[in-house]
Structure formats: C-alpha cells, structure tokens
Amino acid sequence: RRKSPSHETRWLNLLGYSLRPGYGMAADDWRVAETWAAVRGKLAHQTADAVAEWRILSRRIAGGLNAGQQNELASPILALIRQQHRQMTTGTGKAGKYASNNHEASEIWRMLGSLELLDRRTHQELGNIILDFLPRKKFEAIQPALTWALGRVAARVPVYGPLNSVLPADVVERWIERLIDIADCSDLAIIDGEVTRKCGLARTIDYVCITDYQIVHVYRLQCALSLSVLNFRSLTLARVW
C-alpha cells in the first residue's frame, strides 16, 4: 500500500471488503483490532481517494468497533459538520471543510450513519442536521448519502447495536413529516424499509404517520415513472387521498 496512492486505495478497498461486517466469524475481533492499529491515522498517502476508502473501510467494519473507537471516528468530523450547520442556519461562525470532494463527503455521511454505538443524542443531532441539509442545493450531489445515513439513524431495528440505541418513535415521526416536504421519490425509497419497519410497540412509528408517508412516496414514484408534468408540490394531502 505504500508503493503508490493507487496501491493504497485498492488495498483499503479490498481490506474493507474482506473484513465486512467486522463481526460474526472466529477471530474477527482480532482482525478488526489489527486493522484499526495499522490504519487509523496512518495512511501512507493522504489523497482524497485514499481518505474516502478509509471511510468506506470504517463503515464496513463498524460492527466490530467498540463505542470508543466509533466516537474517535466521528468526533473530529462532527465538529466540522456542526460548524458548517451553524454557519448555514444562523449565519454565524466560520465553516471548515469536512471533506475534499463530494465522493468523500458521501462516504463520511454513510460512515456516520453506520456508527450505531454513538449515543442517542448524537444520532438525533445527526438526523436534524441531515434534514436541514437535504433541501439545500449545495448538498444535492450527496443527497442519496444523506438519506441513506438518515435511514440508518432512524432505523427501528439496529443492525448490530443495542435496542437502547434506537431513537424514540416520536422523533422519527417528526422527521417523516419533514421528509414528505423535502425529499424526492428516489431518495425516499432508500429509507422506506428502515423507518417503517414493524417491531416492538415502543419503537414502531405511528401507523397514520407511516400511511401518510407511503401514500406520498407512492404517488411521487408513479409521477416520476410516467414522466408526468404534474407538480406534486402544489397538491394537498387531501387531494392525494
């Protein structure tokens, strides 16, 4: 991997692909620990592609990382994202760059969405930031990654995290109400299975909220597939029903 940036990029990609999901096989904990020690903060080539592949690797093995390691991955990036969010929403402060290009930014958001051992407060903050970013033209290129991350943060059943990491249903219901207004049909499809999944009573979102969300989604999808010129945003939910 030290031979050239291209070698390191391919090496990181192959390593992450081989180790995913980071748990479930004998000695996976050792493999993940060795990978963390060898790669964390030790990239031989600090190119945009290599850094993006490090984010992908981190996402792929996230299930084998402990809470401290996940916080170590997220904290520096979250600090920069909070600055950008504050500057965008309030006009105060100076926003630092958390990614060198859209590809790296997309992989950062996917990585953050996969870190299920972050505390619920951080997950809720991430969701609120994503919903503020989604309608902005500046983030149009990474909208699929933002909605993917939102789906993971809002998921009713975690992939590997504990159930106490799942956000309260009322929080996700409020997010769905906002999603109906700001996300297009292709992006809504990414999070359908995550947020509308039926599970324990305390975690399942309200049926009426699910129905509203799915009706809007299906209608938008039909319009998109038929290349309809009808502007859905001018319709009320009552007319859709």
Q: Tens-digit pLDDT profile for the chain (241 aa)?
A: 999 999 999 999 999 999 999 999 999 999 999 999 999 989 999 999 999 999 999 999 999 999 999 999 999 999 999 999 999 988 887 877 889 899 999 999 999 999 999 999 999 999 999 999 988 999 989 988 998 899 899 888 889 999 888 998 888 888 877 877 775 545 555 555 566 555 655 566 654 455 555 555 544 444 443 433 334 344 343 434 3
Structure tokens at 67: 């809470």
CA-nearest of 109, 183, 114, 181 to 146 is: 109
195 in Cβ contact with 152 (< 8 Å): no
Distances (CA, A) of 66 to 31, 42, 79, 94, 110: 13, 19, 20, 32, 18
CA 200 to each of CA 68, 209, 212, 229: distance values in angstroms, whole numbers, following the listed order:
28, 16, 21, 41
Q: What pTM did the predictor assign?
A: 0.82
Q: What is the pLDDT of residues 90-112, one digit of tens each?
A: 888 787 788 989 999 999 999 99
- Integer Cα distance of 29 and 231 in angstroms: 52
Q: How far is 77 from 144, CA to CA, in rounded Å?
A: 19
Confirm if 133 and 93 have CB atoms less than 8 A apart. no
The model's pLDDT over 195-229, given as tens digits with 9 standing for 90+, comes to 655 565 556 665 445 555 555 554 444 444 343 33
pLDDT at position 211, please?
A: 54
User: What is the model's pLDDT at position 95?
Assistant: 76
